[in-house]
Amino acid sequence: MSQDLQYIPLEDAQRLAIDLLLAAGLSEGHAEAIAKSVVSAQRDECYSHGLWRLLGCVATVRKGKVDPKAVPTVDASAPGIVKVDANFGYSLLAFQEGLPELIAKASRLGIAAMAINHCYHFSALWPEVEEIAEAGLVALAMTPSHSWVAPAGGKKPVFGTNPIAFGWPRVGPHPFVFDFATSAAARGEIELHRRAGKPIPLGWAIDSDGNDTTDATKAMEGAMLTFGGHKGSALSAMIELMAGPLIADMTSAESMAFDDGAGVAPCHGELILALDPKVFLGGGMEEHMRRAEDMFAAITAQGARLPSQRRYEARARNEGRGIPVQASLLEELKAMLASLA
C-alpha cells in the first residue's frame, strides 16, 4: 500500500461497500455477503481481495454477466453432498445458503461435500474455511478461475490461479488456516502492482512471447506461472478436475470462453469438503487434537510462523484503529457510488 493509507471505522467500510453494491443493483443478500468478504480481507490487510474488488463487482454487473438478484437453490437430498446452484449470481451468498447443511451433514456422517455451481467468483477462500473451522470442522476448499496460467513447461494459459484453502479447528482464538493460489501469485497482486506502476518479481509471469517479465502490464497480457514448477502445475490440474468436471461445472478455459471477452469475474464452480474430527476420533479426540497442537508448537518454538499468522496479527492491530484503505481507492469508490446514485 502507498503512503496515502488512512483508517476508517469498520462500520463505515461495510456501509460504503453495501451502499455501492445496492446502488449497482445487487440484492441485499448479495450486497451483505460480498461486503462481509471484502471488508474482512481489507481488515486483515489482504488488499488483493479487499475493497478494490468492489470495482470489479460493479463492472461485472454493469456488463450484464452476473445476475445481481440471483437466488441460490440448495439441494441437500444426497446423504453426504450439498449442491448449491448459484444461478449465475456471486458465489458468496450461495456459500452462506449451503453452509448450514454442509455443517449438519459433516457432523452427522463425519465427512460431507458442498458443490457450488454456476457462480461468479472473485473472493478469497480463507474466510470460508475459517468459518467452517470455527464450527469445529476440518475444511478444504478449491476453485478454478479464468485460464490465465501456463502449465509448467508451457507458454500459453490453460489453468486458472486455482486457489486451495485448508482450515483446522483449534482451542485457541484462531484456527490453523492457509489459502494460496497455485499460481506463483494471485491475479489481484499483479493487478495491484500494475495500478501502482510497480514491477513484479521474476517468476510470477511471462509476456505474450513467452519471455520472463517484471512488467505487470505485459504479465496481464501474457501468462502467469505456477508456483513450484511442475508441482504447482499438477495441483492446479487437480483443482481443475475436482472443482470442474467432478461437480459438472466449467474448467478455467471454459470459463474464459464463457466470458467472451467481457473481462469480468470468472464463472465456474467451487468444491468444499468438511470433516468432523469428533466422528473420526470419538473418545480419542482430545488426545489426537493435542498431538496437532504439539506440531504447531514445534513450528512456532523455533521462530517459524504459522500460515495466517500475519493476517491474525493485522486483525488484532486494526481492532482499535479501523480498516486501512488507500485514500485514492476510497475516493474512487465514493465517486463510483455518487455516479450510481
Q: Give per-residue pLDDT as tens, 162-175.
A: 999 999 999 988 99
Return the DSSP state at 14: H
Beta strands in the chain (DSSP E): 5-8, 73-75, 81-90, 111-120, 138-142, 149-150, 163-168, 176-181, 205-206, 223-225, 267-275, 323-326
Instruction: Spot the catalytic one: 32, 97, 130, 189.
Output: 189
**Per-residue pLDDT tens for 49-59?**
999 999 999 99
Contact present, 114 and 76 (Cβ < 8 Å):
no
pLDDT range class, residue 66, cuts 50, 70, 90: very high
Q: Give residue 1's pLDDT.
A: 46
Tell me, yes or no, if 48 is annotated catalytic.
Answer: yes
Tell me, yes or no, if 221 is annotated catalytic.
Answer: no
- Asked if pLDDT for residue 307 goes beyond 60, the answer is yes
What pTM did the predictor assign?
Answer: 0.93
- Asked if pLDDT for residue 16 goes beyond 60, the answer is yes
Query: How far is it, in rounded angstroms, from Cα 47 to Cα 177?
Result: 18
Mean pLDDT across 118-143: 97
Instruction: Spot the catalytic one: 37, 40, 49, 128.
Output: 49
Contact present, 60 and 120 (Cβ < 8 Å):
yes
Question: Grid coordinates in use for 115?
Answer: 458443490
pLDDT range class, residue 128, cuts 50, 70, 90: very high
Tell me, yes or no, if 183 is annotated catalytic.
Answer: no
When the pLDDT of each residue in the chain is averaged and rounded to a whole number, the result is 95
Mean pLDDT across 317-334: 94
- Asked if pLDDT for residue 231 goes beyond 90, the answer is yes
Q: Give residue 147's pLDDT.
A: 97
- Asked if pLDDT for residue 102 goes beyond 80, the answer is yes
Query: How far is it, in rounded angstroms, from Cα 56 to Cα 122?
Result: 9
Instruction: Spot the catalytic one: 37, 48, 145, 147.
Output: 48
Mean pLDDT across 223-249: 97
Return the DSSP state at 267: E
